[in-house]
Structure 1
Amino acid sequence: MQRFVAVVAALFGVVTVFVGGRVLAGLDPGFEVFRPLVIFNTIMGVVYVMAGLRAWRDPRRGRTWAAVIALLNLIVLLSIGIAYAAGAGVAAQSLAAMSFRTLVWGGIFLVLARTVRQVAAAEASAQADEADAGWVIRPVEDAPVTLASFYAVDHDDIDRLLDEFRASKTGDRQAAVALYREFKGRLERHIGWEEDILFPLFERLTGLVDNGPTVVMRAEHRRINELLEAIDATLAAGAMAIDADEAALLEALAAHNLKEENILYPMIDRQASAADREAVFARMRVELARPVPGTPGGARV
C-alpha cells in the first residue's frame, strides 16, 4: 500500500503541474480563473511529486510530507472559501477542485500513517524476538557499495531512534532516557566515523583542508554535540524540559544531513577508489566491535 499511494501521489502531482501549466499558458478552463490559486497549485504539483518519491523510500518521512501538504491545502481551501463567500472572483469549480486535493492528501496521510504504525509494530516485534541477543546493528559487510548509501542509511537509523525517543517522552521516563542515550551513542559514533575516517579521506583526495565543506561539517558537529550534551544534562537532572534544545537539534540535524547526503557524500564517492571505500569500511568494522555508549550490551557485529 505504501508504494501504491506513493505512485498515486507522484502521478497526482504530474497531472496537477500539467493542468496548472496549461491554464497559466492561456488555456481557458471554462470558468473564472483565480490566478494566484493556479500558481500555488502548479508549484504544489511539483511538491506532490517530491512527496511521492519520499513516500516510496520512507513511509515516515512521506507521512510528514503528506501531513504538511494536506495542512497547506486546507489553509488555502479555507482562504478561497472565504473569498468565494465574499464574491471575490473565486469560481465554484476552483473551490471544488481544492476540496478534492485536500481530501486526496488527507487520505494519503492516513494511509501512510497506518503504514508507519504497521512498520513500527513489526520492528517492535523483531526487537522483542532479539531481546536475548542484545542490541544488534546492521553489519558493515551488508553495507551498500557506496559510502553515500551507507551513511544515508545510518542517518535514517539514527533518525528512527530519535523519533522513538520523542514518542516515548510522555510515557515511561526511564525508558525514554534509555532511548535518548541509545540515540546519542549512535549519533556520536556516526560523527566519530565521519571526523576520524571519512573527512580525512575527503581532504586527502581533494586537498580541501582549511577551506572545504568538512570545515563547515565539523563546525556543525560541534553545535550538534553541544545540543546533545545539553539535553543529556537536563535528563540526568531528572527534568524533561528539553523542548527548545530538542527543536534546535532537529533543525540542525535536518540541515546537516541534507548537505552531507546531497553534497559531501557524493563528492567523496566520485573521488574515492574501490580500495579507498574498502579501507573506510575496514576501519569502521574495528569501531563496530566496540560497545556503543547507551546501548544494552554494546554493539554486536
Structure 2
Amino acid sequence: MSAWPSPRRGSRVAGGIAIAFGVLTLVSGGTTLLGAFDMGAVVAFVLWFNTVAGLAYLVAGVGLWLARRWAFPLSLAIFAATLLVFAGFGFHVARGGAFEMRTVLAMALRSAVWGGIAIVAWRMRDHERCRTG
C-alpha cells in the first residue's frame, strides 16, 4: 500500500486547497489594492503578482478537481513564477527595500503550497482517468 493518496483523491484535495487559496488570495490582495487595510511596507510587484496569481490558483484548482492534464503545467508554472517573484523580493530586501516580515512568511507558504500542489499534479498527469481538455 502506498503512502500517497490515490491520484484522483489527491487531485481533488489539491484542487480544493488551490481553490480555497485562490479565493483567500484574491480577497486579501484585492482589499489591499483597494486600500481597505494599511498593510505597512507593501512591495507593489509582490502584491500585484499575488493578486493576479489568485486567478491562476482558481483555474489550476478547477483543473485539478476535474483531473485535467493541463493542471500539471499550470501548477508548475505557478510554482516557478512564485519562486521567481520570491527571488525578486529577496533582491529587493537585499538592496535595503522596505518590507514586512509577513511577506517573507507568505511567500514561503505560497512556495511550499504550490510545490506540493505541483507534485500532486505531476503524479496525477499520467493516471488513466486523467482527462485531456
Same fold (TM over 0.5): yes
Match of 2:125, SS state, is helix
Map 1:1-301; keep pairs closer than 5 Å: 1-26=10-35, 27-29=37-39, 31-117=40-126, 119-120=127-128, 156=132
C-alpha displacement of 1:89: 2.0
Is residue 67–residue 124 contact of structure 2 (8 Å, CA) maintained in 1?
no
Whole-angstrom distance in 2 between the partners of 1:11 and 1:84: 29
Counterpart code for 2:54 = G
Is residue 56–residue 62 contact of structure 1 (8 Å, CA) maintained in 2?
no
TM-score normalised according to structure 2 size: 0.83
Counterpart code for 1:28 = D
TM-score normalised according to structure 1 size: 0.38
Q: Deviations over 1:211-245 (max 9, x none)?
A: xxxxxxxxxxxxxxxxxxxxxxxxxxxxxxxxxxx
Match of 1:60, SS state, is coil
Match of 1:90, SS state, is coil
Aligned residues: 123
Whole-angstrom distance in 2 between the partners of 1:39 and 1:112: 25
Unaligned runs of 5+ residues in structure 2 are 1-9
Counterpart code for 1:54 = G
C-alpha displacement of 1:36: 2.2
Counterpart code for 1:75 = L
Q: Which has the higher contact order (CA 8 A, sep 6+)?
A: 2
Unaligned runs of 5+ residues in structure 1 are 124-152, 160-301
C-alpha displacement of 1:64: 1.1
Structure with the higher helix share, 1 or 2:
1
> How large is the RMSD of aligned CA atoms in angstroms?
2.0
Whole-angstrom distance in 2 between the partners of 1:54 and 1:7: 10
C-alpha displacement of 1:102: 1.0
Counterpart code for 1:96 = L
Whole-angstrom distance in 2 between the partners of 1:57 and 1:14: 18
